[in-house]
Amino acid sequence: MLAYVLRRLISIPFLLLGVASVSFLLSQMTKGDPLAALVPERMMSNPEIVETVKAQWGLDQPLPIRYLRYLGNLVQGDLGTSFATRRPVATDIAERLPATLELVIAAMIIGTAMGLTLGLLSARFRGSAFDSIARIFALIGSSLPIFWSGLILLYVLSVRLAIVPGTGRLPPRIAPPPHHTGFYTVDALIAGDLSLFVQALTHLALPAFVLGWAVTGIITRLVRSSIVEGLSLDYARTARAKGAPERVVLVRHALPNALIPLLTILGFTFAYLITGAVLTEAIFSWPGIGSYAVRAAGALDYPAIGGVTIVGSVAFLLANLLTDIAYAWANPRIKVH
């Protein structure tokens, strides 16, 4: 198992090299001129200034040199300097990553919890009114675009009903807790500040729900169908023949078997959540990687775009690795070599 994990870990840098190369080349092929982001419009006519800026950012070098330089920096953990913020991209990302992770993890928890509960109950009461309602709820979540469900819920719950606070991670002018993990909820607890924790949590709730709702459908469907299938298998009959009530057959026997396929789609779900986070962050003014990426794309800020791509890929590869490990752990029949 350990050897397997190591082998997978070793493969990650090579995959990243591919990702970095593709993203670098794509950025070179786009039509937009990054100089527009660097040189104020009225100075564009001054060739001296243009040349100086080009040299300063290394844009005067031929493509292969720029490529090698980019990779060389990358190996040292240097993602370049953002054209827009004029700060190292790595610093920008490190600052914003916790906000995104907090959002995505909360969404994952909400989506999985809702999907498991709905899937379990609809399998237990299949064919009932509850089954239909759960199906519709799940279907809406996975078919409504996030910007749509996000805006509607924000408008109804926050603007009209004022049940939840508005956008952002905290109310305006409230200072974040001292930095430990970068997760405001966790840091507030570490600081022992309960009211701050509640504020962070209520701000997190709606965007995390919107994002989690989007993956509830696929999880519900999967859990329901695996459990319904499990209930018809021989081991379920054995459990009933032992005298187990249907609830026990479901929870103790069918559910653990349903977790195995669930784990395999969670990795996929995570990738979906990362992309979905871009939209959610934009709608909820969430200061994470997603809103950073949106801004960078608008400004042709190539170093920032490249940095976000690489961080996203790392997250995706790690999530997949974790999924595989969890899968092997949950399934005693798999012996990974």
Partner 1 sequence: MSAPLLSLKDLRIAFPDGDGGMAEGLRGVDLSLDPGEVLGIVGESGSGKSIAMMALLQLLPDSARVSGSARFKGQELIGMAGPRIRRIRGKSIGCIFQDPLSAFNPVLRIGDQVAEAILLHDSSRSRRDAMKAVEGLFERVAIPQPARRLRQYPHEFSGGMRQRAMIAMALANSPELLIADEPTTALDVTVQAQILDLLRDLRRDLGIGMVLITHDLGVVAGIADKIAVMYGGRIVERGATDPVFYETAHPYTAGLIGAVPDIEGTGALRQIEGTPPSIFTRPGGCSFHPRCTRAQAICAQEDPALAEVGNTDCACHFPLIATRTEVAE
Considering the rule CB under 8 A, would residue 152 count as an interface residue with partner 1?
Answer: no
CA gap 3, 73 in Å, rounded: 30
Closest CA to 84 of 299, 281, 294: 299
Both tokens of residue 293?
A: 């990426």
Label residues 231-261 b or e (16+ Cβ within 10 Å = b): beeeebeebeeeebeeeebbeebbbebbbeb
Considering only 45-53, 131-139, 208-216, 255-263, which stretch makes contact with partner 1 by CB under 8 A?
255-263
Among 125, 148, 155, 235, which residue sits at the site for partner 1 (rule: CB under 8 A)?
235
Considering the rule CB under 8 A, would residue 126 count as an interface residue with partner 1?
Answer: no
Considering the rule CB under 8 A, would residue 179 count as an interface residue with partner 1?
Answer: no
Q: Can you state the angle between helices 255-283 and 289-298, rounded to 10 degrees?
A: 50
Considering the rule CB under 8 A, would residue 238 count as an interface residue with partner 1?
Answer: yes
Considering the rule CB under 8 A, would residue 48 count as an interface residue with partner 1?
Answer: no
Considering the rule CB under 8 A, would residue 245 count as an interface residue with partner 1?
Answer: yes
Q: Which residues ranging from 89 to 108 are in contact with partner 1 (CB under 8 A)?
A: none
Helix ranges (DSSP H) in 154-243: 184-190, 194-231, 234-241
Q: Is 58 left (phi over 0), alpha (psi -120 to 50) or beta?
A: left
Among 253, 263, 283, 301, which residue sits at the site for partner 1 (rule: CB under 8 A)?
253
Considering the rule CB under 8 A, would residue 128 count as an interface residue with partner 1?
Answer: no
Minimum distance between the CB of residue 218 and partner 1, rounded to whole angstroms? Answer: 22
Minimum distance between the CB of residue 257 and partner 1, rounded to whole angstroms? Answer: 6
179 contacts: CB under 8 Å, gap ≥ 6? 187
Nearer to partner 1, 158 or 264 (CB): 264
Considering only 90-98, 218-226, 246-254, 281-289, which stretch makes contact with partner 1 by CB under 8 A?
246-254
Residue with tokens 């990779």: 71
Both tokens of residue 124?
A: 């237990």
Considering the rule CB under 8 A, would residue 242 count as an interface residue with partner 1?
Answer: yes
Minimum distance between the CB of residue 245 and partner 1, rounded to whole angstroms? Answer: 6
Q: Which residues pair with 81 in a beta bridge?
A: 88
Nearer to partner 1, 173 or 333 (CB): 333
Both tokens of residue 51?
A: 């040349």
Considering only 38-46, 178-186, 187-195, 249-257, which stretch makes contact with partner 1 by CB under 8 A?
249-257
Q: Which helix or strand (DSSP H or E) is residue 131 part of? A: helix 129-143
Considering the rule CB under 8 A, would residue 325 count as an interface residue with partner 1?
Answer: no
Considering the rule CB under 8 A, would residue 87 count as an interface residue with partner 1?
Answer: no
Among 192, 195, 234, 247, which residue sits at the site for partner 1 (rule: CB under 8 A)?
234
Nearer to partner 1, 13 or 256 (CB): 256
Q: Are 183 and 196 in contact (CB under 8 A)?
A: no
Among 40, 241, 247, 337, which residue sits at the site for partner 1 (rule: CB under 8 A)?
241
CA gap 323, 329 in Å, rounded: 10
CA gap 201, 196 in Å, rounded: 8
Considering the rule CB under 8 A, would residue 1 count as an interface residue with partner 1?
Answer: no
Considering the rule CB under 8 A, would residue 69 count as an interface residue with partner 1?
Answer: no
Among 149, 220, 226, 257, which residue sits at the site for partner 1 (rule: CB under 8 A)?
257
CA gap 74, 66 in Å, rounded: 12
Considering the rule CB under 8 A, would residue 127 count as an interface residue with partner 1?
Answer: no
Considering the rule CB under 8 A, would residue 205 count as an interface residue with partner 1?
Answer: no
CA gap 259, 334 in Å, rounded: 14
Binding-site ranges for partner 1 (CB under 8 A): 233-235, 237-245, 248, 252-253, 256-257, 260, 330-333
